[in-house]
Structure 1
């Protein structure tokens, strides 16, 4: 179980968490990595403590109620985070919710998939709508503005938006990481898991996000602090809505790429900095990668238990 937790923690942080912090990293690349790490991990520690204190030791915020720990716990549950780690090294943005949680309870796949598809569609529409109206004011102005020319209040706003988004993402996706541990952590397990998470984030921040960071940097103007701030606020409010909507785990990755897809289309149409054809190619490429992750998740969810029974 502990091995499963450590493998899932590293692979999920590398694949999923860094997408959430991607705009923060890209727009603050001039700052020392450890400053950004301290900031993010302060929020992480606060979210851990709040969940543990208010949910009777459950840092997943009650999102694992329908995902009991398997008894007995076998090797098949270690396979998904290993595959996730491989896909992450290839730069593929996989839904960790599908890949990790589905194998624990395949019957919940339909509910998770439905909520995630709704999340992608809603984020896509919101991205198009908002950026259609603000592109000329915010994005066009930002293209010719260097990072050092940003007004101080934009820096403050971006760190506030990152605090908000990062906390909302953690509340949603900590369930994927803590599926391998008891649903109620004692104090020893709490500190152990926190130290593991802080260490893993240090590695990822030191690497400046790794391969997955390309999902962010390939998009128009995401390295500008104004653009990054707006993306983070929108993404955070969408996650907040779905957090209150239900406790069913969902793919935050799908929400993220849906928002970026809508944003790319709106900016390409309004500002003509990239052709609609090229924009469509990027969007299809991102969706294709996400579908690869979904396909792998479904195969693992239904094949691994059968393989485990066959071997035993």
Structure 2
């Protein structure tokens, strides 16, 4: 096996582990929190089934491109709606420095910091696209924040306050369990379509059937670990927000998040930070519940939300720094 192939596969595995460890909790965090009473492997089978369908379906209909067009563009032009990320084999001096992003992401994830994997990883393969990714991701944060404010303007006092003060009955739990699993499945599929690009950027743009099977096996093992460990450090951010353990509240969060991701998926093919969208939604939700249901937003709440936003800007700063480091370590990139 050549050095190129070694770096490709090691980069893929590290990227898969770091992206799943950091980003999966955005989509499955509320699902895990509100289903803690269930066996971990039951939840894993559900999520693994959707992952397998989305991956294989994308590979089949797109001629081997599992990124749903987010890595393949016109190599002769730089377009906001049609970015291009080169194959590793086409990059001059593609080597060990390209393993830095997932390694840094692994370290950051251990401290529970929800940084953007899109900025950390994809920027290495197309530094010129960073500006467009930041623009779309910031737009995602603002749209999610605004949507959450509007949603909780309508439901904070009538529904969310009722959920907080009145635990769900057994009959309600049965109904909301069905609704939540449906909304989680919808959200999980939309997230996978967005974030497969962050992992498969290390493999050829046309994924072979052997690499498809290999990557699916890696995903299933890593996903099993996430469910077995109940989400890891990032899960603390989800649990710290108001009433996310309630299956009714979790369902509303998941469905809202999925609709926002669907909107940005249809907008254009440029990758974006789903982390920013997720934190924007949670921030708008916290402010909406506290203000519209209880009449005031505490300083502690604002400080907590500020810390979350600071963490994603920290990830952006690290991404930019790594790009400059890569240019220093390599020639011709």
TM-score category by the smaller chain? Answer: over 0.9
Aligned to 2:77: none
Q: Equivalents in 2 of 1:274, 1:187: separation in Å?
A: 55
Equivalent residue in structure 2 for 1:204, among 226, 235, 238: 226
- The alignment status of 1:9 with 2:16, answered yes or no, reads yes
Q: Equivalents in 1 of 2:294, 2:321: separation in Å?
A: 41
Q: Report the count of equivalent residues.
A: 310
Say which SS state the counterpart of residue 222 (structure 1) adopts.
coil
Q: Which moved more, 1:143-152 or 1:9-18?
A: 143-152
Q: CA deviation at 1:207?
A: 0.5
Given that residues 23 and 114 in structure 2 are in contact (C-alpha distance below 8 angstroms), is that contact kept between their aligned partners in structure 1?
yes
Aligned to 2:40: 33
Q: Equivalents in 1 of 2:154, 2:247: separation in Å?
A: 19
Aligned to 1:123: 144
Q: Equivalents in 2 of 1:91, 1:200: separation in Å?
A: 17
Show CA shifts across 1:32-69 (max 9, x none). Answer: 11100000000000000110001100111110021112
- The alignment status of 1:193 with 2:200, answered yes or no, reads no
Equivalent residue in structure 2 for 1:247, among 254, 265, 269: 269
Matches within 5 A, 1:177-192: 177-192=199-214
Matches within 5 A, 1:94-109: 94-109=115-130
Q: Equivalents in 1 of 2:273, 2:187: separation in Å?
A: 15
Show CA shifts across 1:192-216 (max 9, x none). Answer: 0000000000011100000000111
- The alignment status of 1:20 with 2:42, answered yes or no, reads no
Q: Equivalents in 1 of 2:177, 2:21: separation in Å?
A: 25
Aligned to 1:74: 95
- TM-score of the superposition, structure 2-length normalised? 0.90
Equivalent residue in structure 2 for 1:282, among 289, 304, 308: 304
Structure 2: any 5+ residue segments left out of the alignment?
1-7, 73-83
- The alignment status of 1:42 with 2:60, answered yes or no, reads no
Say which SS state the counterpart of residue 38 (structure 1) adopts.
helix
Matches within 5 A, 1:131-146: 131-146=152-167
Equivalent residue in structure 2 for 1:260, among 276, 282, 307: 282
Say which SS state the counterpart of residue 248 (structure 1) adopts.
coil
Given that residues 80 and 100 in structure 1 are in contact (C-alpha distance below 8 angstroms), is that contact kept between their aligned partners in structure 2?
yes
Show CA shifts across 1:133-153 (max 9, x none). Answer: 101222111113446643421
Q: Residues 193 and 224 of structure 1: is their aligned pair in 2 closer, same or farther, counting only changes over 3 Å?
A: same
Aligned to 2:111: 90
Q: Equivalents in 2 of 1:274, 1:40: separation in Å?
A: 38
- The alignment status of 1:214 with 2:221, answered yes or no, reads no
Q: Residues 274 and 29 of structure 1: is their aligned pair in 2 closer, same or farther, counting only changes over 3 Å?
A: farther
Given that residues 265 and 276 in structure 1 are in contact (C-alpha distance below 8 angstroms), is that contact kept between their aligned partners in structure 2?
no
Given that residues 269 and 276 in structure 1 are in contact (C-alpha distance below 8 angstroms), is that contact kept between their aligned partners in structure 2?
no
CA-atom RMSD, angstroms? 1.4
Q: Residues 63 and 277 of structure 1: is their aligned pair in 2 closer, same or farther, counting only changes over 3 Å?
A: same
- TM-score of the superposition, structure 1-length normalised? 0.96
- The alignment status of 1:229 with 2:251, answered yes or no, reads yes
